[in-house]
Amino acid sequence: MFWENIRQALNSIRSNLLRAGITILIIALGIMAIVGVLTSIDSIKYWMASSFTTLGANTFKIQNRQGNFRIGGARAKKIQYPEITFLEASQMKEKLQNLGIPTNINAVANQAGKAKYLNFVTNNNVSIKGTDENFLVVEGYKIAEGRSITQEDVEFGRNVVVIGADVQEKIFPGINPLDKIITLDKRPYRVIGILEKRGTSFGGSGDKVAIIPITSMRKSFIDPKRSYTINAYVENPEEIDYLIQVSTGLFRVIRKLKPIDENNFVAVKSDSFVESLMDNLALLTLSATAIALITLFGASIGLMNIMLVSVTERTKEIGLRKALGATQNHILLQFLIEAIVICQLGGILGTLMGIGIGNLIGSFLGNEFIIPWNWVLLSFAICFVVGIISGLYPARKAAQLDPIEALRYE
């Protein structure tokens, strides 16, 4: 009986293909909105989990700017405070290390620099950074070959460099880079190490980098308005909020702020960007779900109308079935299953479209193809509920028809 009702439902859809097809498409659009957005968000979450490697979740930083991330709405104004000088950063590093907190000072010499060896040259996309001996510990890098920057390199301002994997591939094809002299923006540096490949991060490729001692950067890449960033690594992530408060108090003293003065710097956890992004993604999810539910509500009304028309057009068929012994429950189930089948066809189409759109967005982030099975199951459940709600009234109306009057219907 169940499969017979399925067959009858498909025959009815084929006989009214245009009308049923429009309803299926409307339902598919609503499901596509839900599954597409949720698949995209899952892709973004996967991307964040795999690419958030520049600073771990148990680090925090002190800097002179507050970054904001907002999807839609009014644009958030970025707050820019006075530059953090090298002296202030050095004093803060000393205070934090006295507390047993590994601390790193860094600054960008050129975000769009160029590296060259002999006739091999990169594009203007190498991030040249000045840092100290703690950058491996704090910033999560690993050395593939050679060595890292040492405290002696920093103290003597040596012209040495640790290059990323992309830089090595570009200017050292099949050549051992160690101890070779390269130029960074026409300044000579000796290669002492190569970083392990790490892929894309929020600030761009983590492999198109050239790390030099911060003292060497200060003498070669002179910028009186440069601001330095202080990164601190915390062994126990549960202590990070407390240590941020302690660090804020210490840096207020270094910057000679009075008790009534507001902070002219920011001290934030490294994952604050992710938290801000997730807040916006949650808002986006809620908005897309609301729009999709409104679309599905409209589709349910359309489906109910189609089923009422179908009941009217098939009145004689209903009368004949009852005359041959079909009960009210048989007729009710027949039309109810037909409504559910239409919704499920819309759900299948919408799910496939949503997964395709979501993964298309994910492909731009370099993610692998994913299928959000939880959302797929949710979409089919929603379609099932919509089918029952939309088909129940027409099905009951069909089931309650008088067989004699139905057979006489013209």
pLDDT tens by residue, the chain, 410 residues? 667 767 777 777 777 777 778 878 888 887 887 787 777 777 776 666 555 544 455 788 898 876 544 444 444 455 678 899 999 999 999 999 999 899 999 999 998 899 999 989 998 889 999 999 998 888 878 899 999 999 999 999 999 999 999 999 999 998 999 999 999 999 999 999 999 887 655 445 678 899 999 999 999 999 888 999 999 988 887 788 889 999 999 999 999 999 898 998 888 876 555 555 666 666 767 776 777 677 777 777 877 887 787 777 777 877 887 787 778 888 788 878 888 888 888 888 888 888 888 788 777 766 677 777 777 887 788 888 888 888 888 888 888 877 777 677 66
Predicted pLDDT at 53: 46
Give which of 225, 206, 215 is closest to 167, Cα–Cα. Answer: 206
The structure's pTM equals 0.59
Predicted pLDDT at 321: 78
Q: Whole-angstrom Cα distance, residue 364 to residue 56?
A: 24
Helices 17-51 and 2-15, packing angle to 10 deg: 110
Predicted pLDDT at 79: 64
CA atoms within 13 A on the CB side of 100: 3
Q: Which residues, 6+ apart, have CB-to-CB distance to 230 below 8 Å?
A: 61, 62, 63, 84, 89, 92, 93, 96, 103, 104, 105
Q: Whole-angstrom Cα distance, residue 97 to residue 83?
A: 22
- For residue 343, give both structure tokens: 């919704």
Predicted pLDDT at 48: 62
Q: Whole-angstrom Cα distance, residue 286 to residue 391?
A: 28
- Please, are residues 149 and 157 in contact by the beta-carbon 8 Å criterion? no
Predicted pLDDT at 276: 57
